[in-house]
Amino acid sequence: VVPVYVTGGIAALAMIYSLFGAVGLSLVFISGKSKGWWLYLVPLFIVAVMVTRMGILMMLVVGAFHFANKKVALKLSVITLVGIMGLFIFNSEAFQEKTFGKKRGEISQIEMRNGRMANINNNGRDYMWDIMDKGIAESPVFGNGTRAELKALKKAGLIFSECHCDYRAVTYDYGFVGLTCLMIGFLFNFLHLKSKQGLIEDEITMVTFYSALTLFLVWIGFMYSDNIMKYASQFGNLHFCLIGITYARIAYADDINNYTTIQQRETDC
């Protein structure tokens, strides 16, 4: 935990915890291992204490929409539990102060305007996003060039090297063409992985499979408020490792089955 915190900060810590949560719940829903709840609930508690708002939201999303949870009754129970925990965290003093300042706020106050969460404290992101939006408007199709957003932030006198929104960073650098290609890549990666479900024959592969599928939801959220694409060692590499392990185990099982079939044929002869 300490190396992750030092290297990537609190945001990276929340990202890797979402991965722990996804794997933990896979163990619960697929293997029936109740201890897997600890891999979900402990990280959720930690990100709640850190008041990492997108981290909290993504942990709740992982719990509510985990792809391995297919039983209707259990799904409704988990969604209810997640909703209660979410309301408790939302109304906590630390979350309220970070989000609304000294004045308490309600969920109904939060709304999306022009691609931004309105009526809450965005921790200075609005100023950076104004810079990004201006550059995007000037070159919307193909963008301003690789890492151009860093130059824009430095030119504005900011000490930050990231704009804390991967959607804007990618669009600023590579335009909507680049962002579209990225999103299509994620979509096809998800669909191709999902198409392998019928080939899975064991619980371990099911755990990696459903964990990897669920973590695509985490990309969507963290890309809005953070730079999850830059935290490769804390999230991206680990996520794609789960995908790679899934493919490898499917291929290995297929090879074993084919080898067994050949051996059986030779025995029969």
pLDDT at 267: 56
| DSSP three-state, residue 116 | strand
Q: Quote the percentage of the chain above a pLDDT of 70.
A: 93
User: Is a pLDDT exceeding 60 seen at residue 65?
Assistant: yes
CA distances from 149 to 114, 171, 175, 230 (A): 20, 10, 12, 14
> Which residues lie closer than 8 Å to 16 by C-beta, 6 or more apart?
4, 234, 235, 238
Which residues sit opposite 116 in a β-bridge? 113
Cβ neighbourhood burial of 199 (10 Å; 0-12, 13-18, 19+):
middle
φ, ψ of residue 134 in degrees (nearest 5): -65, -45
Question: What pLDDT score was predicted for residue 268?
Answer: 54
SS3 226: coil
Q: How far apart are CA 269 and CA 223, in angstroms?
A: 59
- 73 CB contacts (<8 Å, ≥6 apart)? none
d(CA 219, CA 207): 19
Closest listed residue to residue 207, CA positions, set 39, 72, 14, 74? 39
Q: Rounded to 5 degrees, what are φ and ψ at 258?
A: -65, -40
Question: Average pLDDT for residues 165-190, to the nearest whole number?
Answer: 97
Query: In this predicted model, what pLDDT tens digit does every residue of 215-235 receive, in sequence order?
Result: 999 999 999 999 999 888 889
Q: Are 26 and 215 in contact (CB under 8 A)?
A: no
Task: Measure the CA–CA gap between 133 and 130, rounded to whole angstroms.
Answer: 5
Residue 264's pLDDT band (cuts 50, 70, 90): low
Strands 111-113 and 116-118: antiparallel
Spell out the long-range contacts of 228-232 with Cβ–Cβ below 8 A and sequence spacing 24 or more.
Answer: 228/15, 228/166, 229/166, 229/169, 229/170, 230/162, 230/166, 231/8, 231/11, 231/12, 231/15
3-state secondary structure of 144: coil
Flag whether pLDDT at 266 surpasses 70. no
Provide the pLDDT for residue 115. 82
Pairwise pLDDT comparison (197 vs 3), residue with the higher score: 197
Question: 89 falls in which pLDDT band (50, 70, 90)?
Answer: very high
Q: pTM for this one?
A: 0.89
Write out the two tokens for 189.
Answer: 């990666």
Checking if the pLDDT of 8 tops 60, the result is no
- 28, 214 Cβ separation under 8 angstroms: no
pLDDT, position 126: 92
